[in-house]
Structure formats: C-alpha cells, structure tokens
Amino acid sequence: MLNADYIVLGEGEETMKDLVYHLESNLDVDDVKGIAYKKSDGTVKINERRELIKDIDSIPFPAWDLFPMDHYTLLRMPNIGSNERCMVMYSGRGCLFRCNFCYRMDKGFRPRSADSVIEEMRILKERYNISYIAFFDELLVSSVERVTEFCEKLIAANLNMKWDCNGRLNFAKKEMLELMKKAGCVFINYGIESMDEEALKRMNKSLTTSQIIKGIENTLAAGISPGYNIIFGNIGETDKSLQLGVDFLLKYDDHSQLRTIRPVTPYPGCPLYYYAIEQGLLKDVEDFYENKHVNSDLLAVNFTPLSDDEFYNCLRDANKALLNNYYDSLKKNAIETEENLYNKRDASFRGFRRT
C-alpha cells in the first residue's frame, strides 16, 4: 500500500493548485474536482472529474530551474551525438485513434500551437544548451497539415536542433518526411503492432500492411530512422503472425535502436481489457495488477490459440533472431571503426566505451 493522502485523476495542473489551496486554507476538499482520497472513516471518496484544459498553450513552461538539468539532459535517444544534450517536450495531448490495446485517460486530441512549441525549444537551447528534443507525446504526427506548419515555422526559426517524435504510418508521405528531415527530425517512432492484415483489423489499428511498408520505405528514403513497435498476442494471432513481424523487422531495421517484440497487455480501461473479462480470462483490476501483470515481457492474458508454453517458445525464437541481428550490426560497425582508426589514422576516434 502506498498510503497516499490524495490521488489526482487525469490532468494535474489545475487540480493540484486547487487542492493545495484548499489544504492550506483548511477548507473541505469535497468540492475539489479531479481527486480521490480516503476519508476519516476509512471510506474512499472519488470526486467529480475535472474538465480538460481546452487551451494547453495556457499551461506555463516547466520550472526547469528547480531540477538538476545537467542530469536530465544526459538522456540518450536514437541518432543523438555523444556530446549533445537532450530534453523531453510535449507538442500536444491525446490521440484520435482507438487501438483495442491502448487505454485513453482523456478523450480527444489537443495540440499545442507551433509557435508555443518552438518558443519552448528556443528557451531550452539558449538557457541549457539543448540540441536534441525528444517529443514524448502520443502523436506529434497527427496530420500532414499540422506537421507541415510546424516544420516550416521551425525551419524559419533557424534553431538547428535535432528532434524525434511519435508518428502514424498512414501520414508518412514523401514530401512531409523530407520537410521533417530538413527541420531536424532524425527519428520517428511508429506503432506498427503487427504485420498480419487480419490482426490489424481486429485491433482496430486503422492501418494496412501496404501502408506500413510504404511509410517505412518513405521514412528511410528521407534519411530519418524509423522506430518499429511490434507486439504479439492480440486476438487470434498465431505463430505465423509473429513470423511476419520478425521478417519485416529483419528486412527494414536500420539498427538505430534495439527492437524486440513484447506480448500485448490488456491494461485496465482499454477495449482488450473488457474483452478479457467478458471471455473469463481476467476477473477485474485487482486480478490484473496482483496476479496477471507481473512483467511487461511476460504474458498477462493469452488471447491466441497457442498454449502459454507455445507462446513463449515462439517469442523466444523471434527475439533471439532480432537480438542476433542487432548485435551483429554493432560488431560489424565496431570492427569498421577499428580498421579506420589504424588503417586511415582516424583522429576523430574517441574510444569504444563512450556513451
């Protein structure tokens, strides 16, 4: 038990201010929207949810000065230089898609304005020498129009910063990706999930395998590294579904980031969670957290026709192939670096054990 006094439900910016005000003023917290707490008699009270912040540009920038920035800027992301400083940012909140394995705390998608995002980037560069921005929000690439506006304004701002983001492969058009590359994008993390056409339909991914392949090829052609997220074990998937994903990764992976395949997890709140309860595979939230979800790389619920042993055997062999492929690439690159060092007297070499 965490013995928390209060729990903030959903967005915390307005709720935290309201809660602190009530506590400091010795006021009853019954009317503080967006919290849950245990009353003096031991019962749990869940207050009315707070409305979402409509204009997220109105939220002040983080108080970076209160944190050890020299520590946080050491975050390593794909295609970042060893001497570069990185910081996390958000360009918006939410996602309009409805994959069956993904839970949404809040409905809808609320983007920040391009001007607000670029201003935050400018401040981070000037105050903390940040040269790489990692956009951690669910979906920066929410439309071609939004990305185009952002990239054009970012290029005009002349910040010359690298960045990465999360994207959707149905939006991965050649012209947009070339503009993203020009604006400094070096990595786009994509939710692929499966290369089984029927599995994509069942998980409500709103993608086809042809869109995935074309989008990845466009991304690579633009000089941007793609991030490949594939999961296994959604409703009806088989060992053949898994092999399709492995074959795809082995063909297209540019080795900018180690990728393995994990089992799908029916987190409470997502459609797959309620399906598991309907099918008698899961009892409730307590069953999920106390008994089923013990590790993100292990099965929580098996939705496939495979036995648990068969499932793990397939996943073990799949990830063994992916791990061998990735580390073989690292070994090859290390040997080439060593040859350049001694054969070509490469004076830029800074050691094999650098971060």
Residues 164-187 have pLDDT tens digits of 999 999 999 999 999 999 999 999
Which element (helix H / strand E) includes 162? strand 162-167
Q: Do 181 and 225 contact (CB within 8 A), yes or no?
A: no
- Per-residue 3-state assignment (H helix, E strand, C coil) for 215-274: HHHHHHHCCCEEEEEEEECCCCCCHHHHHHHHHHHHHHCCCCCCCCCEECCCCCCCHHHH
Give the pLDDT confidence of 230-269 residue by residue, as tens digits. 999 999 999 999 999 999 999 999 888 899 999 999 999 9
CA gap 19, 35 in Å, rounded = 8
Domains and CATH numbers, the chain: 6-46 (no CATH), 74-264+303-343 (3.20.20.70)
**pTM of this structure:** 0.91
Question: In 10 A of CB 55, how many CB atoms?
Answer: 9
Strands (E), 51-145: 86-89, 92-94, 109-111, 132-135
Residues 266-316: tens digit of each pLDDT: 999 999 999 999 999 999 999 999 999 999 999 999 999 999 999 999 999
Q: Which 8-state DSSP code applies to residue 7?
A: E
